[in-house]
Copies of this chain bind each other. A is one copy, B any other.
Amino acid sequence: MTVSIDPAVAASLRGFEVPEKLGFGSVMAPAMFRARCQDGVWSGGELVPYAPLTLDPAAKVLHYAQSCFEGMKAYRTADGIALFRPDRNARRMAYSAERLCMPAVPESLFMEGVTTVTAYCANLVPANSGESLYLRPFLIGTQPDLSVSASTSYEFYVIASPSEAYHAGNMRVWVEREDARAAVGGTGDAKVGGNYAASLQSIARLKKRGFDQSLWLNPGNRHTVDELSGMNFFAVMDGELHTPALNGAILEGVTRDSLLTLARQLGYTVHERPIDIDDLLQLVSSGTCSEAFACGTAAIVSPISVMGDGDAVYELSAAPGPVAERLRAALLDIQEGRAEDPFGWMVPVEITDLD
């Protein structure tokens, strides 16, 4: 590792007190990792105190949304601190970057970033189950130029936030029949800002109706379920697990992949297939679909209690549901070091001693 450490980092960290109430993504750790890329050439990484960025007002990211990001977590385990499947995030971020004509952050630099931040912020990793140090790597185009073209300069950051899980569960989701978060041939399978900006109007609308999250339909057929905003979708039917098959408009969640693996190991039959929304709602009505849940790095596993569609409301009969609970527990047991890690998912981080 050749990360340069700003001497001010240690003082920032020593002077930082983690507030009692964490929430999600609002308490920021006082150190961050930074690297720059100019004309395809990456600088070395630096760990610096968390501080405002200075960006030219004409920077591409501010006008043309040339930005992508990742969400991942560092957990406190019996043995210390560990990251969960960081290689998957590194690869997905490279994919997202490529979709927006940005240079991929080299996997070694990405790993250096998330590892260094975690190593220095180890004291900020919460100890309560379900809490963690949420890591947010992100890449932005910084060239000051108003023409619609890829930036020639980029900045990569890793910031961190000691956080609770994003959703506590018992979510009320809303079938979004009008808006779309991404297009066929668009950026739905990349983790880029524009998908989230497009989703805000739907979220604002459904909150007024007493719901928590949009259930997005495929923008091509407007009839099969894609995902929730930042979370993948699962339904339990007759004790078997069903989740939308990847189709180019769905973000391939690391938690989704992990749950598929875990579920198979636990003996569940798992189906990755297109799920028609009208079929699904009918199966919820009849009780065949007794459970549904969302999953994601931030949300872990969040049971769905109600699905709203227009004026109709469909209640999941087994909510929050034993399958969701079992999978959530199985995943957290690995992440928090209470269970064996048969898949080699946990990557321990050597804690940096600040003294």
Chain A residues near B (Cβ < 8 Å): 23-26, 28, 32, 50-58, 61-67, 69, 99-101, 134, 136, 138, 140, 144-150, 157, 159, 161, 166, 178-187, 192-201, 203-204, 219, 222, 229-230
Please report the C-alpha to C-alpha distance between residue A65 and residue B68 in the assembled complex, in whole angstroms: 10
Please report the C-alpha to C-alpha distance between residue A24 and residue B146 in the assembled complex, in whole angstroms: 7
**Cβ-neighbour of A200 out of B28, B58, B136, B149 (below 8 A):** B149
- The answer on a CB contact under 8 Å between B25 and A145 is yes
- The answer on a CB contact under 8 Å between B100 and A200 is yes
Nearest CB on B from A222, distance (A) = 8
- The answer on a CB contact under 8 Å between A26 and B185 is no
Closest to A188 in B: B183
Nearest CB on B from A171, distance (A) = 14
Please report the C-alpha to C-alpha distance between residue A65 and residue B196 in the assembled complex, in whole angstroms: 7
**Cβ-neighbour of A194 out of B62, B145, B193 (below 8 A):** B193
- The answer on a CB contact under 8 Å between A63 and B179 is no
- The answer on a CB contact under 8 Å between B61 and A50 is no
Please report the C-alpha to C-alpha distance between residue A145 and residue B182 in the assembled complex, in whole angstroms: 23
- The answer on a CB contact under 8 Å between B138 and A201 is no
Instruction: Given A199-B148, A200-B66, A204-B101, verify A136-B58 contact (CB < 8 Å).
Output: yes
Please report the C-alpha to C-alpha distance between residue A140 and residue B140 in the assembled complex, in whole angstroms: 15
Please report the C-alpha to C-alpha distance between residue A67 and residue B196 in the assembled complex, in whole angstroms: 11
User: Top 9 nearest A-B pairs by Cβ distance?
Assistant: A194-B194, A25-B146, A65-B193, A183-B183, A180-B183, A65-B65, A64-B196, A180-B185, A52-B54
**Cβ-neighbour of A197 out of B65, B145, B203, B230 (below 8 A):** B65
- The answer on a CB contact under 8 Å between A65 and B67 is yes
Supply 12 A–B pairs (Cβ within 8 Å), ascending by A. Answer: A24-B147, A25-B58, A26-B146, A58-B159, A61-B61, A64-B197, A64-B200, A65-B65, A148-B200, A148-B229, A182-B183, A187-B197
Instruction: Given A136-B63, A193-B194, verify A182-B178 contact (CB < 8 Å).
Output: no
Give the oligomeric copy count.
2
- The answer on a CB contact under 8 Å between A185 and B219 is yes
Nearest CB on B from A54, distance (A) = 4
Please report the C-alpha to C-alpha distance between residue A44 and residue B100 in the assembled complex, in whole angstroms: 36
Closest to A231 in B: B148
Nearest CB on B from A116, distance (A) = 16
Please report the C-alpha to C-alpha distance between residue A162 and residue B275 in the assembled complex, in whole angstroms: 53
- The answer on a CB contact under 8 Å between A193 and B64 is yes
Closest to A166 in B: B147
Which residues of the partner chain B approach A138 to less than 8 Å between Cβ atoms?
A: 62-63
- The answer on a CB contact under 8 Å between A219 and B57 is no
- The answer on a CB contact under 8 Å between B63 and A62 is no
Please report the C-alpha to C-alpha distance between residue A196 and residue B136 in the assembled complex, in whole angstroms: 23
Closest to A192 in B: B197
- The answer on a CB contact under 8 Å between A62 and B61 is yes
- The answer on a CB contact under 8 Å between B25 and A147 is yes
Please report the C-alpha to C-alpha distance between residue A230 and residue B146 in the assembled complex, in whole angstroms: 12
- The answer on a CB contact under 8 Å between A52 and B61 is no
Which of A58, A183, A187 has the most C-beta atoms of chain B within 10 angstroms of its own C-beta? A183
- The answer on a CB contact under 8 Å between A185 and B178 is yes
Which residues of the partner chain B approach A55 to less than 8 Å between Cβ atoms?
A: 52-53, 55
Which residues of the partner chain B approach A147 to less than 8 Å between Cβ atoms?
A: 23-26, 166
Which residues of the partner chain B approach A185 to less than 8 Å between Cβ atoms?
A: 178-180, 219
